Chains A and B, each alone.
Chain A
Amino acid sequence: MKSLSNYLQSQRKRLSLSQEEVGFLLGIRGMNKSAKVCRDEKFAREPSLLDALSYEVIYGRPIRELFAGLYEQAGQDVAARAKFLGFRKLRKPDVRKQETIIQLAAKAGVNSSKQ
């Protein structure tokens, strides 16, 4: 099962907050505070890093849990790139670097088997 892009709506409802209140807590100015929050919840927009961190503070859950789908996607993308990086020839062999790349590339298999 692929996780949903984010779980902002269920977390907001868990705390009985309205979109307008969350918008205010995020520091959104203007009349339509709830519109931005709504777009985040409906996966129509990816929030900025500052907004994502604010969500973590408001809901008390780590970003990787709030944006589970995005986190999985990022993990898979990085692992795919790490595999590619593993094929590069290094001028100076570096054991630590090789280990890091192997570990990152192995995450692709772990993530796909989790689903």
Chain B
Amino acid sequence: MIKNKSVRILAIAPLSRGLGYAVMERSDKLVACGNKAILRDKNAKALAWVNRFIQFYQPDVLVLPNVTAADTRRAARIKALHRKIVAWAGKKKVKVRLVSVTQVRTQLLGEPKATKFAVAKTLAEKFPVEVGKRLPPKRRPWMSEDPRMDIFDAVGLAFAFWPSDK
């Protein structure tokens, strides 16, 4: 539970292609969001980007996905990156909060088994100016995941950090 609501959070979603990021100052104020595609030497470059984001946005809390939760499967590389980011945030004295996928889905849609697209669509409706245009078309079985989904992963994490108003 957040006692002092005046905090800036940086949510990082490390994924197979790179990472998504989102910066929020209130549950309704999305300051920045985006994704970074990383091709080679992914963990080192991703860590450099996280460091750059921390220096630039000076967040009070770093929000990361809970990669060890029972409902989550992640590649060994991403788990290693996650551990490095947590260690790095500790060095920079930034608090770390872990948010699971189930928490994101439950907070946004009220059901823990909602689809990723449903989550993205809800976020696009909540933040039409910031991410409305970035919503990719619904993924079909023969399609790869759109890189823009990284943004929605990060925004979802950031949104789930704040306690719901319900």
Contacts and interface: CB of A to CB of B under 8 A. Distances in A.
B7 interface: yes
B23 to A, nearest CB: 9
Interface of A is mostly: loop
Given A1-B8, A1-B60, A7 B129 contact: no
Interface of A: 1-2, 4, 7, 9-10, 13-14, 16, 42-43, 114-115
Contact of B130 (A2, A14, A114): A14
B88 interface: no
B32 A1 contact: no
Contacts of A4: 8, 31, 57-58
Nearest to B9: A1
A51 to B, nearest CB: 21
B7 A7 contact: no
Interface residues of B, number: 14
Given A9-B32, A115-B6, A1 B25 contact: yes
Nearest to A13: B130
A14 B131 CA distance: 10
Contacts of A43: 56
Nearest to A69: B58
B7 A1 contact: yes
Given A1-B8, A42-B56, 7 more contacts: A1-B6, A1-B25, A1-B60, A10-B30, A10-B31, A10-B32, A14-B129
Nearest to A115: B6
Contacts of B6: 1, 114-115
A4 B108 CA distance: 28
9 contacts: A1-B7, A1-B25, A1-B60, A4-B58, A7-B31, A13-B129, A14-B129, A114-B6, A115-B6
A83 to B, nearest CB: 25
A2 B60 CA distance: 9
A1 B88 CA distance: 21
